[in-house]
Amino acid sequence: MQLSQEQLVDLVGEKASAAAAFGEPVTADGITVIPVARASLGFGGASGSVGGGTEVRPLGYIEIRNGVARYRPIRDTRTRILLPLTAIAAGFAAPWLIRSVNTVRSIGIRRRSGAE
């Protein structure tokens, strides 16, 4: 059985949905929660073979309460912690790195000028 490109995308696209990855909307105590995700599809091929893959990432959920819908993003705690720590470490390392580069440059300049 040979599938067209459109049929293949439709078939794989069904697997790359928020509902397929995280479940169907859930209702309890008058509140409905609908998962929201970003889905990506990729295909490639060479020499008669074809390959592909999907990725689904959670972004948040829609909460429906008393007839009012609100989007609630899911925050990645690693990003919230890792990014500031990386910035702080870079701030502490920058003066040391600048001094090291300047020292190496000055040694190179002295050697080229024969001042050593």
Q: Are residues 24 and 64 in the same domain?
A: yes
Share of the chain above pLDDT 70, in %: 78
pLDDT reported for residue 52? 72
Residue 115 or 18, more confident = 18
Q: Are residues 11 and 67 in the same domain?
A: yes
Q: Are residues 47 and 88 in the same domain?
A: no
pLDDT reported for residue 57? 81
Q: Are residues 31 and 66 in the same domain?
A: yes
pLDDT reported for residue 62? 92
Tokens matching residue 67? 């007839």
Domain extent, residue 29, equals: 1-74
Q: Rounded to whole angstroms, how far apart are CA atoms 101 and 68? A: 58
- Residue range 18-75, pLDDT digits in tens: 666 677 888 999 999 998 888 777 777 777 777 777 777 888 999 999 999 999 998 8
Q: Are residues 61 and 51 in the same domain?
A: yes
pTM assigned to the model: 0.49
Beta strands 31-46 and 68-73: pairing type? unpaired
Q: Rounded to whole angstroms, how far apart are CA atoms 51 and 116? A: 61
Residue 5 or 84, more confident = 84
- Number of structural domains (the chain) is 2
In the predicted model, is pLDDT for residue 113 greater than 80? no
Tokens matching residue 114? 């024969």
Confidence band (pLDDT; 50, 70, 90) for 99? Answer: confident
